[in-house]
Amino acid sequence: MTLPLSDKEKYMIVKSAELETVCGITSKLPDNDLPEIAFAGKSNVGKSSLINGLLNRKSLARTSAQPGKTQTINFYNVNKNLYFVDLPGYGYAKVSVEIRAKWGKMIERYLHGSPQLKKVFLLIDIRHVPSENDCMMYDWIVDNGYEPVIICTKLDKIKRSQVQKNLKLIREKLDLVPGTTMIPFSAQTKQGRDEIWALMDELTGAVPAATDELKA
């Protein structure tokens, strides 16, 4: 018996996902031939939780209560047809100015040097007005020639009645380019997951294992 996949289900099949390449400050960036989606955001905004949630994995991307844990650029090969690229978190006070400057140069080198980069997803905590570091990162991504998608994380931490108000505050504080896509997301309930996958399909044409039928 075969069952047709719903529009939502077809974005949710991940057959394989692995951390393929880890790049430090002095590492050479990989010469990938698959489309890349980069994830940027301040420390502890939920990048690892987002990646794990999108991939239906519990701990592929390591989560930590300690901010500043991601200190490398991590390339996750998804179904051998696209890469998730996890960029170092910014704004962590205990990291020295010198190290933060080196991270900045590493990220800039990636943004300028990857021909396969299709889109940057900038993660913002929906509970709070964006910080000055968030605003600087948004402007920096735009100045580097990209129009980031804003993923508003920790959606389950606020009341439903607060969502539109908080999205408006984020839009105004970042001074978003008109038409910028904003997607609220919860790592707990997975709300927003289907919308993110649908957008990545539109951007890359590389939805993981999107098939027309599901065998039962």
Task: For residue 166, tell me if it sits in a domain.
Answer: yes
Task: For residue 117, tell me if it sits in a domain.
Answer: yes
Task: For residue 62, tell me if it sits in a domain.
Answer: yes
If you write DSSP's letter for every residue of the chain in order, what string do you get? Answer: -EEEPPTTGGG-----EEEEEEE-TTPPPP---S-EEEEEEBTTSSHHHHHHHHHT-SSSSPP-SSTT---SEEEEEETTTEEEEEPPPB--TTS-HHHHHHHHHHHHHHHHH-TTEEEEEEEEETTSPPPHHHHHHHHHHHHTT---EEEEE-GGGS-GGGHHHHHHHHHHHHTPPTT--EEE--TTT-TTHHHHHHHHHHHHS--TT--SEEE-
Task: For residue 168, tell me if it sits in a domain.
Answer: yes
Band of pLDDT at residue 57, cut at 50, 70 and 90: confident
pTM of the complete model: 0.86
Task: For residue 1, tell me if it sits in a domain.
Answer: no
Out of 10-19, 60-69, 138-147, least confident range: 60-69
Picking from 22, 40, 180, the residue whose alpha carbon sits closest to that of residue 117 is 40
Domain count, the chain: 1
Task: For residue 11, tell me if it sits in a domain.
Answer: no
> pLDDT tens digits, residue range 32-47?
999 999 999 998 899 9
Task: Answer yes or no: is pLDDT of 23 > 50.
Answer: yes
> pLDDT tens digits, residue range 109-143?
898 889 999 999 999 999 999 999 999 999 999 99
CATH of the domain at 51: 3.40.50.300
Given this model, what pLDDT does residue 187 score? 94
Given this model, what pLDDT does residue 210 score? 44
Domain carrying residue 92? 16-204
Task: For residue 84, tell me if it sits in a domain.
Answer: yes
What is the rounded distance in angstroms from the CA atom of residue 206 to the CA atom of residue 35? 8
Given this model, what pLDDT does residue 113 score? 85
> pLDDT tens digits, residue range 140-195?
999 988 999 999 999 999 999 999 999 999 999 999 999 999 999 999 999 999 99
Task: For residue 33, tell me if it sits in a domain.
Answer: yes
Average pLDDT over residues 15-38: 92
Work out the mean pLDDT of the chain and round it to a whole number: 85
> pLDDT tens digits, residue range 75-91?
999 999 999 999 988 87
Task: Answer yes or no: is pLDDT of 96 > 80.
Answer: no
Given this model, what pLDDT does residue 211 score? 41
